[in-house]
Chain A
Amino acid sequence: MSGLKTLRIRINSVKSTQKITKAMKMVAASKLRKAEERAEAARPYAERMDAMLKEVANSMAGRGEGPKTLVGTGSDKTHLLVVTTSDRGLCGAFNAGIVRATKGRIGALQEDGKTVKLFCLGRKSLDALRRDHEDLIIDRETELDKGGFGFPKALDIAQRITNFFEEGAFDVCSILYNHFKSVISQEVRVHQLVPFAAPSEPETDGSKPAAEAIYEFEPDEAEILDELVPRNLAVQIYHSLLESLASEQAARMTAMDNATRNAGEMIDDLTLLYNRTRQAAITKELIEIVSGAEAL
């Protein structure tokens, strides 16, 4: 009989776990919708900023000048990796993927004789990387989602990165984040922030369509670029963080959906086993009674 009791306890415990995972899945689903909307809403600004930057950079091209964050220091000895993860776990391979990619990159860069530094966003990256690379972490930021993540936060992070750059702490900066491909698939992406790698079009001297407007600049290209480039850095970071937040919720939703399904299977198996055991006990009792009566 004790076997029956333990089975009953296990079934109940799996059932309550299933309730939790189901609730988490639903919470993640509603947060995902919000995160997706936010990422969608942020797109126009980023797109237009991109177009404008391209225009100004085109006009500056060939003069070989511009803010350092755009053209770089001319060296690539020290790399800063901005690692974007979540604060909380239970979201499948979301954080593990980023951490693996980061470690791979650190290894590759160090093999090439480069110095690597880390800027950790999200508690999970901090926890995972602290073990092996404590000395490389130069800055951190957690609780990104707390109180509603907004552009000012991205601006703040961009400012800190710019300060590091001006101190000469690094030459090249890239951000690693989860790109939101779809609800069931996220992909680790690396995007170079400094020097800014604008998607450059192939040079087609003279054959450029005449429709391309010749812009006037006010005050002038250099001054606009000085303002535009730091802002663009913040926009890029903001964009990556929004992608990452949406991916986190999507990953959590999928993970919790799987967990709920697994719990369901486990409950079915346990219930079957429970019924069998109970039936076996009843049959055994019956045999005992019958054989007892026969013996009389």
Chain B
Amino acid sequence: MTDAATKVTFELATPDRLWLSVEADMVVVPGREGDFGVLPGHAPLISSIRPGVIDVHQGDQISDRIFVADGFADVVNSRCTVLTGEAMHLSDVDRSAAEKRLKDAEQALAQAADDAKAHAESAVAVAEALVAALR
């Protein structure tokens, strides 16, 4: 428990690969009911995730800022596992590309048939969160 007690093992997995696996001091995850920080020894928790940014803290610094579209977080024994459908480094995202994505999503929503509406709405929510995160 020497190492496990001081660091959080953070893993981010997308369906096609293990996206990121690092030891961190703190991870801030955008939970469905508000952001929560995971420190070593956090109580076991399973939460769904809203579109937003995961901050990985190393000491006083934020080492990674990762945008996730959806997913789930599983915290147990100083491990934090996040499963998401889409992840990207915030630094890799271009502002204009994000705004274009929002515009496209809104257009798709306007044209969507009734049964596809829910899907289009969530796409807009994801794009909105992405644009907001870049601001």
Interface residues of A (CB under 8 A from B): 38, 41-42, 44-46, 48-49, 51-52, 55-56, 150-151, 154-155, 163, 213-219, 223-224, 227-228, 231, 234-235, 238
- How far apart are B67's CB and chain A's nearest CB, in angstroms? 17
Which of chain B's residues has its CB closest to A47's CB?
B13
Enumerate 5 A-B pairs (CB-CB under 8 Å) in ascending A order: A44-B13, A46-B15, A49-B83, A51-B74, A223-B48
Q: With the chains together, A51 CA to B11 CA distance in Å?
A: 14
Which of chain A's residues has its CB closest to B17's CB?
A41
Which single member of B15, B46, B85, B115 contacts A217 (CB below 8 Å)?
Answer: B46
Query: Does B43 interact with chain A (Cβ within 8 Å)?
Result: yes
Determine chain B's interface SS by DSSP, over half rule.
strand
Given A45-B83, A48-B74: A215 and B16 interface contact (C-beta under 8 Å): no
A56 — which chain B residues lie within 8 A by C-beta? 46
Given A216-B46, A217-B47: A42 and B15 interface contact (C-beta under 8 Å): yes
Question: B72 to A224, Cβ gap below 8 A?
Answer: yes
A44 — which chain B residues lie within 8 A by C-beta? 11, 13, 17-18
- How far apart are A276's CB and chain B's nearest CB, in angstroms? 58
Question: B45 to A216, Cβ gap below 8 A?
Answer: yes
Question: A213 to B14, Cβ gap below 8 A?
Answer: no
Which single member of B15, B18, B48 contacts A235 (CB below 8 Å)?
Answer: B15
Given A215-B46, A224-B46, A224-B48: A52 and B83 interface contact (C-beta under 8 Å): yes
Which of chain A's residues has its CB closest to B71's CB?
A231
B74 — which chain A residues lie within 8 A by C-beta? 48, 51-52, 55
